[in-house]
Amino acid sequence: MLTAARGRRGDGERASVLMLMPAAVLIVLVLGAIAVDLTTIRLGQRELIAAAGDAANDAVTVGLDEGALRAGQGYRIDPARAERAVLESLAAKGLLDELAEPPTVLVRGADTVEVRLARRVPHLFARALPGAPDDQLVRGAVTAQVAQR
């Protein structure tokens, strides 16, 4: 009788199926939360790259050294003017206070400006997990070059 009872207990799988369903639902929700968090990071980086592009685009035109141009020395970018243009562009977007480090403005040659930005993008759901990072550092770098058209 005892052997028969143990055999019957092992045969039923209906309870296992019921318990697996909430676990599967939780797994789907966690995967969805991970997808949302990763997309948030990607969105933050995309915004940072767009801001760097706009700032570099402004710097490469506003940063022209007019004195050198009128003196016949050709198109040359004034590093101070270029940096000021970058800061004004970032301030107008409200991004300047959100940067993890001051923006890097590199003038390459006579007509090229590179802008590098870094920013911390907060997670949405991962903050609820103990031990998981609250945010992630993303970087963006864009180079702009003057072209006559």
- Name the residues that contact another protein, by CB under 8 A: 12, 14-15, 17-19, 21-22, 25-26, 29, 32-33, 35-36, 39-40, 43, 46-47, 50, 54, 57-58, 61-62, 64, 81, 85, 88-89, 92-94, 124-125
Cβ contacts of 33 within 8 Å, gap of 6 or more: 124, 125, 126
What is the smallest separation between the CB atom of 119 and another protein, expressed in angstroms? 14
What phi, psi does 146 have (nearest 5°)? -70, 135
Check: CB of residue 92 under 8 Å from CB of residue 84.
no
Q: Which is nearer to another protein, 88 or 135 (CB)?
A: 88
What is the smallest separation between the CB atom of 137 and another protein, expressed in angstroms? 19
> What is the chain's length?
149
